[in-house]
Amino acid sequence: MDLPIMGQRHKDVKNKLSAPPRLTATSLIQFLNRPGWCLKMACTSHHTFGNIGETKISSLGAHNLIIPDQFSI
């Protein structure tokens, strides 16, 4: 079953992964060690979710209106 909540992923907790990512001294050093990757990521186009597309969600109520369309029951 796919649930719209984040599960506790033990490896993510162990590796201190967070969403959104925290900017720490360690992560900054990792970015500086990979300038090519940073440049490529900065130049990529804006990513969207395929099932939502260009839908503009301005509030939680608007988000609730598109949720039923996402399930094939």
Residue 33 lies in a domain: yes
In a domain, 21, yes or no: yes
Task: Quote the tokens at residue 49.
Answer: 């979710």
Average pLDDT rounded to a whole number, residues 20-24:
83
Two structure tokens written together for 34: 């990979």
- Asked, for residue 30, whether it belongs to a domain, the answer is yes
Residue 59, in any domain of the structure = no
Residue 21 to residues 2, 18, 41, 68: CA-CA distances in angstroms?
23, 5, 15, 30
Is residue 67 situated within a structural domain?
Answer: no
Whether the predicted pLDDT of 35 surpasses 90: yes
The C-alpha angle 19, 24, 26, rounded to 5 degrees, equals 110
Smallest CA-to-CA distance from 70 within 48, 52, 54, 56 is with: 52
What is the tally of structural domains in the chain? 1
Q: Domain containing 37: what range?
A: 9-44
- Can you give the pTM of this predicted structure? 0.42
